[in-house]
Amino acid sequence: MKLNKKIIKIRKENGLSQEEFGDKINVSRQAVSKWENEEAKPDIEKIQQIAKKFNVSYEYLLNDEIETIEKVDKSSNKKETKNKTKSVLKVILIIFIIYLLICIYKFVVFYRFYTIADSFSEKNYAIIQNSSIYTKPTQGEDITFYTTKVGNKILEQSYSKSNIIKDENGKSIPYSITYTDIERREAYDLYYDKDKQKYVYNDRKNDMINDEEIEELFVDKNAIKENTLDSIPSSFKEIFWSSINPMFYYVDILNREIRFYSITDQAYRSVKLSKDYLLERVYIQAKDGKSMDVVYSYDYIQDHFKEIENPIETYKDKIIFEN
């Protein structure tokens, strides 16, 4: 059966005049008359409209060998669409559940790291901080910081492999020293001047803007705990946001490690805690190739420490007082 006969059949089975049929697919009565008299043929767009409006298949309209009207099962299409929607929703639900479980795991890990690190408290301690800072993959500097706290006294000393300083006996001495005596309210820095071969004294209280900053110098702090809490999520708000933040892409409770990407710094970071959940290693790799690797080791056994000597006494013949 040819297309013109099929159009006539569809029109009559639906009880429509040529004009009414044309209105259904936005053509004139004359156009319908020409189709039926085989004076013209509808274009593909109009054939699509006929198939859609009268629920017949394209194959029926375009294939002259098919005599019987093939109805399109709309309920089947709807069912198929509904099943596809259900499948998509199931996938979304599974992804959400997996994401939720990961967030819960991260929250538990972050909270565990925080609570154990925050409970750490030692009156006396020593920290060795080895830092490797690379401005380029092949150019870098290794610095070692020694921090010792005994009672109310804190001594920080810095050594550099690229800036080795030795005394008259050939012994390495620090290029910078920071000393704080909380009880006596004494806080100063000593910076080594290679030209003068002496330390330049700087009273840190003179660098402070107001009394509040001066008071901050003499707050009895626990550097081990503070270093750790500064490097990991350390408040309920931080822990919550970090646990749902995909930038914290690796969290390992067994190895006590966190890896994340910092958008503000444009750098990848890795934080490793020791068996005591104290800061052990911080690694930063920036996109521009710069990197920093800091490794910490601690001693906080109380009877290991001797009284800290005031550096002014230690280096009394090597100090210039300029302020």
**In which band, very low, low, confident or very high, does the pLDDT at 138 lie, cut at 50, 70 and 90?**
low
Which of 20, 45, 62 marks a domain boundary? 62
Convert the pLDDT of each residue in 37-50 to its tens digit.
988 888 888 888 88
The strand pair at 198-203 and 319-321 is best described as: parallel
What CATH number did the domain enclosing 56 receive? 1.10.260.40
Same domain, residue pair 28 and 125:
no
Same domain, 133 and 204: yes
Q: Does residue 212 sit in the same domain as residue 146? A: yes
d(CA 314, CA 308): 10
Domain match, 47 and 163 both: no
Rounded mean pLDDT, 294-323: 88
**Residue 68 falls inside a structural domain:** no
Task: Please give the helix or strand (H or E) that residue 85 lies within, else none.
Answer: helix 74-118
Q: Is the pLDDT of residue 157 over 60?
A: yes
Question: Is 14 in the same domain as 155?
Answer: no
Beta-sheet strand order (sheet of 176-181): 250-252, 257-262, 267-273, 279-286, 291-299, 125-136, 139-150, 153-160, 176-181, 186-193, 198-203, 319-321
Query: Does some domain include residue 110?
Result: no
Q: How many domains does the chain have?
A: 2
Cross-strand partners of 127: 147, 298
Q: Are residues 124 and 58 in the same domain?
A: no
DSSP-derived 3-state class of residue 17: coil
Give the C-alpha separation, 159 to 154, whole Å. 17
Residue predicted with more confidence, 60 or 76: 60
pTM score, whole prediction = 0.68
Domain boundary among 39, 62, 85: 62
Looking at the structure, tell me whether residues 173 and 255 fall in a common domain.
yes
CATH code, 218 = 2.50.20
Q: Please indicate, yes or no, whether residues 46 and 191 belong to a single structural domain of this protein.
A: no
End-to-end Cα distance, the chain? 110
Q: Which residue has the tokens 């300029």?
A: 322
Tell whether the model's pLDDT for residue 35 goes beyond 70. Answer: yes
**Residue 225 pLDDT exceeds 70:** yes
Residues 56, 182 within the same domain: no
Residue with tokens 């290693």: 281
60 pLDDT band, cuts 50/70/90, is confident
pLDDT at 76 over 60: no
Pair (52, 124) in one structural domain = no
Please indicate, yes or no, if residue 161 is contained in any of the structural domains. yes
Burial class (CB in 10 A: 0-12, 13-18, 19+), 83: exposed
Domain that holds residue 233: 118-321
**315 shares a domain with 202:** yes
199 lies in the same domain as 283: yes
